[in-house]
Amino acid sequence: MKKVLLKVNHLQQYFNVGRKDEVKAVDDISFSIYEGETFGLVGESGSGKSTTGRTIIGLNTPTGGEIDFDGQDVMKIKGKKALKEFRRDVQMIFQDPYASLNPRMKVRDIIAEGIDINGLAKDEKERNQRVDELLETVGLNPSHGTRYPHEFSGGQRQRIGIARALAVKPKFIICDEPISALDVSIQAQVVNLLQDLQAQQNLTYLFIAHDLSMVKHISDRIGVMHLGKLLEVGTSDAIYNHGVHPYTESLLSAIPLPDPDHERNRKRIKYQVPPDDGKQRGMHEIAAGHYVYCTADEIAFYQNKLQQKLAQTQTAS
Ligand SMILES: Nc1ncnc2c1ncn2[C@@H]1O[C@H](COP(=O)(O)OP(=O)(O)O)[C@@H](O)[C@H]1O
Ligand SMILES: [Mg+2]
């Protein structure tokens, strides 16, 4: 049995509640992440991915729902010690590593911040040794510790951000578009590093991206988000090869195909949010572990659609 590390239940994060500019950034989403896996969260800009991550880590107070981490209700964590432990267990790395690194601090001190706050080293020597180890772990040179963030390339800065997150030995890392701002040639290196670290340290990832082709390789399972709603959840294979929600199909149709003939002839699918018909919608399981946001009446329709897609892929191969 796989252990659930993070369970998000009917999470709701509204901003400016009751005002004209109210935003339903996250609107009643539920999903679980198993220990040791990578859960990809994908959707276009503004769909609520970062807000989901920020709320999980405690940067926002949710307007509804529950977050359960490692068996405890995150909103009910009380006491300095327990809070400190949670803040150590859950780390975040960001899209723009430069903006998230203090330009006036040496890399060594940036990485050691969590070590210092949590008293994880008994003296200066142990602290610096640990930083050297971390620099090596992320593929940088220990001599880099005395330099400042601006002296590094984008990819190297992201490695510094990763080292800083690892410094406190977390269980769970939220990776918020960590490769989106990097050159394509560097993206694979950072993804490989994250995957190696995951295998070595049994890390669990929530990996956020706006592009499905980016999360496909790294994710075990994927959740597709649009305008604050989670619309489809399934294994990477299920979403990528036979995703059934029209919004998932639109994302899939936007991925360039390697074959130019196919690329020229293919149709882009444009997703339009259906008008509000007042019907009750929720996440329904259409096949083992494959969920679609729909009405109860639509379950059979999506089950059929999935069967057709599965039959198609079988004839194709
Ligand atoms: N602190 C905030 N106050 C008001 N609106 C916010 C705040 N944070 C995010 N939003 C809004 O919530 C929506 C989702 O944003 P975000 O989670 O950043 O999306 P994504 O990461 O998918 O691009 C956007 O409309 C954004 O403007
Ligand atoms: Mg974002």
Tell me the ligand closest to 44's alpha carbon. 1
62 φ, ψ (degrees, to nearest 5) = -60, 145
Ligand 1: residue whose CA is nearest its atom 17: 48
- C-beta 314 within 6 A of ligand 1: no
Task: Read off the pLDDT of residues 68-90 as tens digits, 9 standing for 90 and up.
Answer: 999 999 999 989 999 999 999 99
Please give the structure tokens belonging to residue 290.
């494959």
Confidence of residue 24 (pLDDT cuts 50, 70, 90): very high
Cα 26 to middle of ligand 2, angstroms:
12
Confidence of residue 297 (pLDDT cuts 50, 70, 90): very high
Confidence of residue 259 (pLDDT cuts 50, 70, 90): confident
Cα 48 to middle of ligand 1, angstroms:
6
Ligand 1: residue whose CA is nearest its atom 7: 15
Task: Read off the pLDDT of residues 165-224 as tens digits, 9 standing for 90 and up.
Answer: 999 999 999 999 999 889 888 999 999 999 999 999 999 999 999 989 889 889 999 999
Q: What 3-state DSSP class applies to 126?
A: helix
146 φ, ψ (degrees, to nearest 5) = -90, 0
Q: Does residue 317 register a pLDDT over 70?
A: no
Q: Does residue 263 register a pLDDT over 80?
A: no
- Please state, in angstroms and rounded to a whole number, the distance separating the CA atoms of residues 299 and 95: 36
Is 234:243 a contact under the CB 8 Å cutoff?
Answer: yes
Q: What angle do CA 246, 29, 13 make, to 5 degrees?
A: 120
Domain residue limits, the chain: 4-315
State the pTM of this model.
Answer: 0.94
User: What is the residue-wise DSSP string for 66-101?
Assistant: EEEETTEEGGG--SHHHHHHHHHHEEEE-S-TTTTS
Residues comprising the chain, all counted: 317
Cα 59 to middle of ligand 1, angstroms:
13
Task: Read off the pLDDT of residues 197-208 as tens digits, 9 standing for 90 and up.
Answer: 999 999 999 999
Q: What is the CATH number of domain 4-315?
A: 3.40.50.300
Closest atom of ligand 1 to 16 CA is 4
Closest atom of ligand 1 to 225 CA is 22
- Kindly report the number of other CB atoms within 10 A of residue 239's CB atom: 27
- Please state, in angstroms and rounded to a whole number, the distance separating the CA atoms of residues 175 and 225: 16
Q: Does residue 25 register a pLDDT over 70?
A: yes
Q: In the chain, pLDDT over 90 holds for what percent of residues? A: 83
Residue corresponding to tokens 């503004």: 46
Is 230:29 a contact under the CB 8 Å cutoff?
Answer: yes
DSSP H/E element including 77: none
Cα–Cα distances in angstroms (integers) from residue 183 to residues 50, 85, 134, 187, in the given order: 21, 35, 24, 6
- Please state, in angstroms and rounded to a whole number, the distance separating the CA atoms of residues 77 and 83: 6
Cα 191 to middle of ligand 1, angstroms:
25
